[in-house]
């Protein structure tokens, strides 16, 4: 009787254990399925994320799997929910890893890049043209200024002396005196940057309107007469400065002038011819070498040297050979306006060559 009652008890106990094991396995399977579903939804929702702080696109990619192809038991336990019969829940596994990719440039960025490349190419082209010829942008500006100055110079040349000047000229008995009087009158009237004559040098093909003064704005228009010197015809030093690389580079090739080359200054009142005697290279601060009075009429051309540098100053010296009166009213008795008058000058003196 006792044995009959114990058998059913053992069978009931085994059945209960099997049922509990089956329930635990079902719970584990359902937990794994829920974890997989959550991972898939997270991947779909965060395929592309914009990092607001770094400005980068975040792309989620699958994390590398173990080489064996089999999930480690520690990862399997970590994926189970809290309170499962198989142990405590571990931190959720990260099925995806974040990979930062640089954001692709927008249209505005591409436009800016193209513009910068174009500006760089133009800058390189400007440097190349400047080295071979001269600076092109300032050359265009100086060309326009020279055209305007040419028209203004023609008006100065056509202007007649005032009645007072005509009376003074009538009392002068020599052409050098009349030239000197007109030169002094023009120098008094000339403003900084105004046209006062034209310089021509056949040896280097130079022909430019000359302005009064050597200020920055004046030299941007053309060669300028130093204010510390006198206009041609006044018997002293006439010094003219000019650029060598910018603003049409009027004096770029004055280093090619040699002894005996002619330089002509055509002023509204007279034409002057000078002959090159020598050249010299001095310090840029040695202005006296260019403007000092030498005791006779001479012309000095001044420019920075070497080209593209202001380290030194190149001076070209020329002595006055002749002058021709252009206008000045009726000539006194025995004097014909326009006659060629040789200039009194000392013999050519050698100066240190550059």
Predicted structure pTM score: 0.60
Q: Specify the pLDDT at position 114.
A: 76
Average pLDDT over residues 41-46: 58
Q: Specify the pLDDT at position 123.
A: 63
User: Across the chain, what does the average pLDDT equal?
Assistant: 77
Percent helix / strand / coil, the chain, rounded to 5 = 40, 25, 40
Work out the percent of the chain whose per-residue pLDDT is above 90. Answer: 50
Contacts of 51 (CB under 8 A, 6+ apart): 57, 58, 100
Rounded CA-CA distance 88/255 in Å is 95
Higher pLDDT, 73 or 325: 325
The predicted-structure confidence for 308-319, as pLDDT tens digits, reads as follows 888 999 999 999
Q: Which of 12-16, 103-107, 113-117, 188-192 has the lowest mean pLDDT?
A: 12-16
pLDDT confidence bin for 47, thresholds 50/70/90:
very low
Enter the tokens of residue 189: 């009237």
Enter the tokens of residue 32: 């794994």
Rounded CA-CA distance 114/125 in Å is 17
Residue 38 and residue 47 in contact, taking contact as beta carbons nearer than 8 Å: no
Rounded CA-CA distance 24/46 in Å is 33
pLDDT confidence bin for 321, thresholds 50/70/90:
very high
Residue 86 and residue 77 in contact, taking contact as beta carbons nearer than 8 Å: yes
Class of domain 136-342: mainly beta
Q: Specify the pLDDT at position 306.
A: 93
Q: Specify the pLDDT at position 299.
A: 98
Q: ∠ CA(154), CA(249), CA(140), 5° rounding?
A: 70
Average pLDDT over residues 260-264: 98
For β-strands 224-225 and 206-212, DSSP reports them as parallel
Q: Specify the pLDDT at position 297.
A: 97
Enter the tokens of residue 203: 């040896």
| Cα distances (angstroms) measured from residue 133 to each of 8, 199, 214, 244 | 117, 21, 23, 10
Average pLDDT over residues 57-66: 52
Reply yes or no: is the peptide bond before residue 295 cis, omega within 30 of 0.
no
The DSSP secondary structure of 295-342, one letter per residue, reads: SS-EEEEEEEESTT--SEEEEEEEEEEEEEE---SSPPTT--TT-EEE
Q: Specify the pLDDT at position 167.
A: 94
Residue 240 and residue 300 in contact, taking contact as beta carbons nearer than 8 Å: yes
The predicted-structure confidence for 70-94, as pLDDT tens digits, reads as follows 555 555 444 545 555 444 555 555 5
Q: Specify the pLDDT at position 135.
A: 80
Q: Specify the pLDDT at position 332.
A: 42
Q: Is residue 188's pLDDT more than 80?
A: yes
Enter the tokens of residue 88: 């405590």
Q: Is residue 350's pLDDT more than 50?
A: no
Q: Is residue 222's pLDDT more than 60?
A: yes
Rounded CA-CA distance 303/282 in Å is 11
Q: Shortest CA distance to 262 belongs to which of 205, 303, 222, 345? A: 205
Q: Specify the pLDDT at position 336.
A: 40
Average pLDDT over residues 57-70: 52
Q: Specify the pLDDT at position 347.
A: 44
How many other C-beta atoms are found inside a 10 Å radius of the C-beta of residue 215? 13
User: How far does Cα 254 stand from its chain's mean position?
Assistant: 26
Q: Which region, left, alpha or beta, applies to residue 78 given φ > 0 means left and ψ of -120 to 50 means alpha? A: alpha
The predicted-structure confidence for 132-164, as pLDDT tens digits, reads as follows 545 888 889 999 999 999 999 999 999 988 999
Q: Shortest CA distance to 329 belongs to which of 175, 197, 154, 196? A: 175
pLDDT confidence bin for 24, thresholds 50/70/90:
low
Enter the tokens of residue 318: 């020329």
Contacts of 224 (CB under 8 A, 6+ apart): 193, 210, 211, 212, 213, 214, 215, 218, 240, 241, 242
């Amino acid at each position: 009787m006792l044995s009959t009652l114990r058998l059913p008890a053992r069978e009931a106990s085994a059945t209960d254990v099997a049922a509990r094991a089956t329930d635990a396995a079902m719970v584990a399977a359902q937990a794994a399925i829920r974890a997989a579903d959550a991972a898939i939804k997270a991947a779909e929702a965060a395929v592309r994320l914009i990092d607001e702080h770094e400005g980068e696109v975040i792309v989620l990619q699958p994390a590398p799997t173990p080489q064996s192809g089999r999930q480690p038991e520690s990862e399997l336990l970590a994926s189970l929910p809290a309170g499962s019969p198989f142990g405590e829940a571990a931190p959720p596994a990260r099925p995806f890893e974040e990979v930062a990719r640089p954001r692709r440039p927008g249209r505005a960025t591409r436009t800016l890049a193209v513009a910068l490349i174009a500006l760089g190419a133009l800058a390189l082209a400007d440097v190349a043209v400047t080295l071979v010829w001269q600076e092109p942008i300032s050359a265009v500006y100086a060309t326009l200024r020279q055209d305007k100055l040419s028209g203004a110079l023609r008006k100065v040349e056509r202007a007649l002396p005032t009645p007072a000047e005509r009376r003074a000229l009538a009392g002068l008995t020599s052409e050098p005196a009349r030239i000197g009087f007109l030169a002094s009158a023009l120098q008094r009237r000339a403003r900084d940057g105004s046209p006062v004559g034209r310089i021509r040098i056949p040896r280097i093909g130079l022909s430019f309107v000359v302005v009064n003064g050597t200020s920055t704005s004046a030299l941007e228009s053309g060669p300028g007469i130093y204010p510390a010197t006198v206009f041609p015809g006044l018997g002293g030093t006439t010094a003219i400065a000019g650029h060598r690389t910018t603003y049409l580079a009027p004096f770029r090739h004055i280093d090619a002038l040699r002894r005996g080359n002619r330089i002509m200054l055509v002023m509204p009142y007279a034409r002057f011819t000078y002959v090159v005697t020598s050249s010299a290279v001095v310090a840029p601060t040695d202005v006296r070498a260019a403007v000092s009075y030498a005791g006779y009429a001479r012309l000095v051309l001044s420019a920075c040297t070497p080209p593209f540098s202001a380290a030194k100053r190149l001076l070209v010296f020329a002595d006055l050979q002749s002058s021709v009166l252009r206008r000045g009213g009726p000539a006194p008795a025995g004097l014909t306006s326009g006659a060629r008058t040789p200039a009194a000058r000392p013999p050519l003196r050698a100066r240190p060559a550059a």
